[in-house]
């Protein structure tokens, strides 16, 4: 029954966004002749990787998000820094990203099967979809044909929505990428899998207005949850990690919305979803279930995000190794 639901979800989503993707020249069957087994190869590798390290699902999904918000979905987040350039991956917002070695492992398999054919940008898009699916989440058709960018600069990561963002900032940053308020509230639920370092939210526990004391807390954060988080995090802690969706951080589901509705969203950006009537209604609606509807929405929004500022045709290149330009 679950697989049938996922299939119907994918089919519906494909029709919804078909017209928009045609403009970007992405195709469902882009590799049908040049690398017909690309998705099977990625799925097999992702299955093996997550069976050993299931906690990598969240980081790989996050990496796709961080890639698409800077220069579009061009794989630039995967490029290493050089002597003369600090790349995106070494900028503060990306220093906690994980999964680079896993993606390079998959890239080697793809290069062996189909040399100089599959872009790192497409690989990341497929791997992110599989990370969600293998965490008991939805699936969706990944439109392919992205080319890899040749530029990666740390200073451009200011385009990434920070965990401290308020609702106005979030809507502006999502809107700059052609994404809607609905995409914002739906994609935020990617926080249902994965972990976060304390430094991303510790100000809400100790220093929300700059007073640095135990009473200087974010009033939007549940007080019992604050007490619980304080047992794990200090204000200056930059190494400890906590589950973003406690008790369910390896399972993709609607429990994220239940937490946000209770004032237990980990980040200020999570709490910001309650500042707007549309996003607040969406949070409370899905906090009470409707998982199949959320899965369909998440699939649609992931496809929307995966279409942001893509390089196609003769633009960019197909990197042989994802961490270095050709």
pLDDT of residue 125: 98
Which of 61, 2, 19 is CA-nearest to residue 250? 61
**149 in a known ligand binding site:** no
Secondary structure element (H or E) that encloses residue 242, with its range = strand 241-243
**88 in a known ligand binding site:** yes
Averaged pLDDT, 83-102: 95
Of 41-55, 129-143, 196-210, least confident by mean pLDDT is 196-210
**192 in a known ligand binding site:** yes
Residue 231, C-beta contacts closer than 8 angstroms, at least 6 positions apart: none
Asked whether the predicted pLDDT for residue 12 surpasses 50, the reply is no
Averaged pLDDT, 302-317: 96
Cβ(41)–Cβ(48) below 8 Å: no
SS3 257: helix
Ramachandran angles phi, psi of 147, nearest 5°: -110, 160
Dump pLDDT digits (tens) for 120-160.
Answer: 999 999 999 999 999 999 999 999 999 999 999 999 999 99
Q: What percent of the chain is predicted at pLDDT more than 90?
A: 85
* HSE of 57, CA atoms in CB hemisphere, 13 A: 29
**Neighbour tally for 96: CB within 10 Å:** 15
pLDDT of residue 47: 98
Integer CA distances (angstroms), 99 to 5, 94, 244, 253, in order: 29, 12, 18, 22
Q: How far apart are CA 142 and CA 110, in angstroms?
A: 17
Dump pLDDT digits (tens) for 150-187.
Answer: 999 999 999 999 999 999 999 999 999 999 999 999 99
Averaged pLDDT, 112-126: 98
**218 in a known ligand binding site:** no
Cβ(101)–Cβ(321) below 8 Å: no
Considering the candidates 64, 66, 268, 286, report the single residue annotated as catalytic. 66
Residue that is written with structure tokens 């972990």 in the block: 195
DSSP one-letter code for 85: B
Structure pTM? 0.91
- The separation between CA 70 and the C-alpha centre of its own chain, rounded to angstroms, equals 13
Q: Answer yes or no: 66 catalytic.
A: yes
**161 in a known ligand binding site:** yes
**74 in a known ligand binding site:** yes
Q: Residue length, the chain? A: 326
DSSP one-letter code for 196: E
Q: How far apart are CA 53 and CA 58, in angstroms?
A: 11
**234 in a known ligand binding site:** no
SS3 195: strand
């Amino acid at each position: 029954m679950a697989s049938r639901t996922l299939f119907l979800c994918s089919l519906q989503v494909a029709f919804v966004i078909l017209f928009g993707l045609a403009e970007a020249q992405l195709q469902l069957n882009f590799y049908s002749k040049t690398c017909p087994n690309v998705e099977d190869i990625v799925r097999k590798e992702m299955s093996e990787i997550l069976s050993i390290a299931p906690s990598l699902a969240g980081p790989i999904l996050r990496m796709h998000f961080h890639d698409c918000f800077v220069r579009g979905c061009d794989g630039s987040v995967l490029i290493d820094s050089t002597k003369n350039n600090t790349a995106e991956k070494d900028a503060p917002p990306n220093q906690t990203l994980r999964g680079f070695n896993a993606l390079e492992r998959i890239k080697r398999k793809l290069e062996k099967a189909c040399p100089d054919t599959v872009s790192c940008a497409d690989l990341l898009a497929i791997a992110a979809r599989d990370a969600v699916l293998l965490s008991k989440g939805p699936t969706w058709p990944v439109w392919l044909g992205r080319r890899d960018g040749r530029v990666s600069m740390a200073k451009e990561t200011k385009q990434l929505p920070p965990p401290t963002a308020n609702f106005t900032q979030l809507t502006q940053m999502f809107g700059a990428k052609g994404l809607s308020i609905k995409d914002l509230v739906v994609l935020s639920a990617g926080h249902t899998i994965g972990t976060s370092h304390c430094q991303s939210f510790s100000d809400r526990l100790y220093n929300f207005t700059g007073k640095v004391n135990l009473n200087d807390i974010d009033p939007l954060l549940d007080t019992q949850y604050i007490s619980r988080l304080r047992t794990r995090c200090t204000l200056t802690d930059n190494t400890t990690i906590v589950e973003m969706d406690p008790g369910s951080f390896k399972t993709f589901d609607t429990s994220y919305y239940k937490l946000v509705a209770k004032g237990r969203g980990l980040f200020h950006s999570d709490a910001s979803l309650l500042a707007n009537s549309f996003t607040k209604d969406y949070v409370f609606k899905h906090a009470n279930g409707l998982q199949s509807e959320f899965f369909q929405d998440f699939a649609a929004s992931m496809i929307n995000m995966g279409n942001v500022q893509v390089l196609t045709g003769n633009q960019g290149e197909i990197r042989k190794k994802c961490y270095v330009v050709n």
